[in-house]
Amino acid sequence: MTINIKNGGGLIGQILKTNHSFLPTLRVGDLVEGKILEKGSAKLFIDLGKYGTGAVYRGELQNAKEYIKNLNTGDAVHAKVIDIDNDEGLVELSLSEADKQKSWTEVQELKEKEEILKVKITGFNKGGLMAEIKGLSAFLPVSQLSQDHYPKVSEEEKSKIFQSLQLLVGSELEVKIIDVNPRTSKLIVSEKAVQELSARDLAKNYAVGQVIEGIISGVADFGAFLRFTDNPAVEGFVHVSEIDWRIIENPKEVLKVDEVVKAKIVDIKDGRISLSLKALKEDPWVKVSEYFKDGDEVVGTVYSLNQFGAVVNLDHGFQGIIRVTEFGGVPEMKKELSQGEQYSFIIESVKSTERRINLKLKK
């Protein structure tokens, strides 16, 4: 008996189609590799080995003409499956889609390896910059720019962000891939992440407890930034609470940009170095009992007023606290106390372990 296997394979074809265990697993969307069997103007045949024969048709050939123009019979190619069994019994393939899918695979690998890439900026919009990686469009959000390239404009000058971004078009920046999503064609890169990666490596040269010398590079409400004098590429941060043993409302009162200071490293985490200035100063609270006792009458200057009460500067570098409840509320407190003015107070209690002196206004 002769079994017809032409055009679908007759009985054998039907058995194979209904019994998938006989066939290697192949799904639409899979990326496959094969060798070119025959190259024509309207059709390209590819040997897929265990998967059989694949074919790329005229439309797909046009889409991938740049990719295949230098390919010859016997050359290996990657292709994406768009039909596992078309009308001719062939695996229908796409070369252009395969090339793109291969690029997505490669950029995912670059992300996982935390590779640093150099990209050329090709354009910009209100949200950031555009570039290209492996033939794919990449986006660099404004928020992911380094400090050197972040637009330095105020809220009132937001329109100037465009001008700042435009200046970067045509330049090359070092970036790291931070988000890859082929389904939504999203490829996000970050220049800031490169700095953070570099910071992690540089931070390995330092240890908690080490005393360093630094130049103050910036002062903010929440603290100050220090660039290390032995390596200006390394920057640490001093939180406002680590500037002094006393309460500092505004760091700019005591620290100036370009000032040289010594600081102690108190923490290193993910490349971020936390510093302390007060750790290098003698703790005054060890001797607080030599200067103040419960019930003493003292003169102090109001340093600040807030919703919790008032902070008062006392002699010998100490500060006392008078709670807002002593007055009934903030408006009442502000009627009796003014910032910068001197008043007489009674020490209600000295709590050295809590580093606090509680005060009452002398009536």
The pLDDT value recorded for residue 153 is 53
The pLDDT value recorded for residue 200 is 80
Q: pLDDT tens digits for 208-220?
A: 999 999 999 888 8
Q: pLDDT tens digits for 9-19?
A: 444 344 444 44
pLDDT at 221 over 50: yes
- Neighbouring CB atoms inside 10 A of 26's CB total 16
Radius of gyration over every alpha carbon of the chain, rounded to an integer in angstroms: 35
The mean predicted confidence, pLDDT, of the chain is: 85
pLDDT at 350 over 50: yes
188 or 70: whose pLDDT is higher?
188
The sign of the dihedral angle between the CA atoms of 323, 326, 328, 331 is: negative
The pLDDT value recorded for residue 155 is 52
Mean pLDDT score, 23-43: 83
Separation of alpha carbons 148 and 130, rounded Å: 18
150 or 164: whose pLDDT is higher?
164
pTM of the model: 0.54
pLDDT at 292 over 50: yes
288 or 12: whose pLDDT is higher?
288
Contact 313, 253 (CB under 8 A): no
Backbone angles phi, psi at 75, to 5 degrees: -70, 145
Mean pLDDT score, 321-344: 93
Long-range CB contacts for residues 120-126, cutoff 8 Å, separation at least 24: 120/170, 120/171, 120/172, 121/168, 121/169, 121/170, 121/171, 121/172, 121/173, 122/169, 123/169, 124/162, 124/165, 124/166, 124/168, 124/169, 126/161, 126/162
Residues near 77 by beta carbon (within 8 Å), at least 6 away in sequence? 33, 34, 35, 36, 46, 68, 71, 95, 98
The pLDDT value recorded for residue 192 is 86
Q: Which of 2-6, 129-133, 244-248, 252-256 has the lowest mean pLDDT?
A: 2-6
Percent of the chain past pLDDT 70, that is, above it, reads 90
The pLDDT value recorded for residue 157 is 58
Altogether, the residues listed in the chain come to a count of 363
Separation of alpha carbons 354 and 19, rounded Å: 78
pLDDT at 181 over 90: no
pLDDT at 198 over 80: no
The pLDDT value recorded for residue 194 is 86
Mean pLDDT score, 258-275: 93
143 or 22: whose pLDDT is higher?
143
Mean pLDDT score, 114-132: 91
Residues near 171 by beta carbon (within 8 Å), at least 6 away in sequence? 120, 121
Separation of alpha carbons 150 and 143, rounded Å: 8
Domains in the chain with CATH codes = 6-96 (2.40.50.140), 114-197 (2.40.50.140), 204-280 (2.40.50.140), 287-361 (2.40.50.140)
